[in-house]
Amino acid sequence: MGERGGSAGAAGPAGGGGGHRAPSPARGNGGSRRRRGGPPKPEHPSGHGDSAEEPAGDFRCHTVQESLLSSASGFSNYRGVLNWCVVMLVLCNARLFLENLIKYGILVDPIQVVSLFLKDPYSWPSPCLVIGANVFAVAGLELERRLAAGSLSERAGSALRCLNLLSILCFPAAVVLLLPSVTPVGAAFALGIHTVLFLKLFSFHDVNKWCRQRPQNAPKTPQKPPQGGEEARRANGDVAHREVEYPENLSYRNLYYFLLAPTLCYELNFPRSPRLRKRFLLRRLCEMLFFTQLQVGLIQQWMVPTIQNSMKPFRDMDYSRIIERLLKLAVPNHLIWLIFFYWFFHSCLNAGAELLRFGDRQFYRDWWNSESVTYFWQNWNIPVHKWCLRHFYKPMLRRGVGKRTAQAAVFLASAFFHEYLVSVPLRMFRLWAFMGMAAQIPLAWLVSRFLRGHYGNAAVWLSLILGQPVAVLMYVHDYYVLHCNNTG
């Protein structure tokens, strides 16, 4: 009793003593001083917290305050809702996975993947095309050596350069179209290698031409310091400088380092890391192996049955069933695309960069936060974006072309390469990929004009989730009609 009375007496003066106490300013203004980002702590009107006793004469338990879901409340901690979304996503996909296993059984067959690259075990046309690409690389190097030595004029060199670059694209396409033993997957891989070689040699020729046109007494361009601050320098190691000047860069060692490096833009001196991080490399290699198997399993187990079941609605032109199949295909297609992005742009390119000690590891930026279509295409594939900006967009601006026209030309060039990498391996020309990329031009204008913030980001995600399966179904349907019906 003594301790209880003493504590009550001690709290009396501090709490205002009697029962008629004026409300504190923090509670009188509707709780404006409440800490943002979390639910407000329940306060006892007398300030005694969890005390079971009510002070005499003060029976208030309400204050002026907003509901948490109102924008005026200032509440922003929705971490629990995000966790709920993740749990629901896992449960929904687990149900789909179980339904797929019950309906089709286990369809995963890694050995079957080999047949997608090689139709005849004694005929390897796709690997031969990849090996043959070295001829064009060597021809480009020898051409630059002749130009550096002055034994070839710039005009003749430009003509031979264009001929070599066109041959890189035309020769493998002709082989794929004329040789029946080339499988579509093997052809797509070989054409992808030749497309990368085309872009790299284009940059290689441009940079060497700029070096020849630069005056002898022009100041040298200083090396850019590595971005990312001290943490990035500690992670990759301090950049080691070993300057190479033109024309000493025209060597096989310099050229093939560039051809193997995870970049499309040539430089005489690339930023280098002096040490190889073995643990980092091992993690990337394990990721490459795991995600390769995961992609193969998801394609065989989930996508292939869905695509096969979509052919009948297309034949019957049952639009409601077509839309249902499209939405059903959108989930696995988008999941595989996200896995492919991480597998290629993070695991594969970082593994290659680590092996070559290549210092610039910015292969992507925060494209998932894109609030416009243009921002997405500028940030999801940084090597291609840098090439387009350096060798296509800015040269057009210097020649007096308007920004919108140059931007549209970049999209159309990208549309050409998308169609080239799809139509030639499938040996049919339907222009679905070209039209899909060309449609990004009006879509980019519409999103930037009418949608902002979260609505723009939702529009970008919606175009990615639904746009890709539409193109997949169109090509699969046309391929099925062209080949399966004829053989059947």
The structure tokens listed for 413 are 């060039």
Q: Is 53 left (phi over 0), alpha (psi -120 to 50) or beta?
A: beta
Q: Where are the alpha helices (DSSP H) in 214-269?
A: 229-236, 252-260
The dihedral over CA atoms of 384, 385, 386, 387, expressed in degrees to the nearest 10, equals 50
Q: Is the dihedral of CA 164, 165, 166, 170 positive or negative?
A: positive
- Among 205, 385, 418, 477, the active-site one is 418
48 in catalytic set = no
Q: Kindly tell me the number of DSSP H helices and DSSP E strands found in the chain.
A: 22, 0
Are the C-beta atoms of 434 and 484 separated by less than 8 Å? Answer: no
The structure tokens listed for 340 are 């492919």
The helix/strand/coil state of 222 is: coil
Read off the amino acid at residue 369: N
The structure tokens listed for 349 are 């390119």
Are the C-beta atoms of 193 and 130 separated by less than 8 Å? Answer: yes
Are the C-beta atoms of 203 and 437 separated by less than 8 Å? Answer: no
Half-sphere exposure of 243 (CA within 13 A, CB side): 7
- Which residues are within 8 A (CB) of 62 and not within 5 positions of it... i.e. 6 or more apart? none
Q: What b/e readout covers 412-446, taking b as 16+ CB neighbours within 10 angstroms?
A: eebbebbbbbbbbbbeeebebbbebbbebbebbee
The structure tokens listed for 133 are 């690409």
Read off the amino acid at residue 337: W
Instruction: Give the single-character DSSP code of 244.
Output: -
Alpha carbon distance 405, 387 (integer Å): 18
Alpha carbon distance 225, 197 (integer Å): 28
Q: Would you name the residues annotated as active-site residues?
A: 418
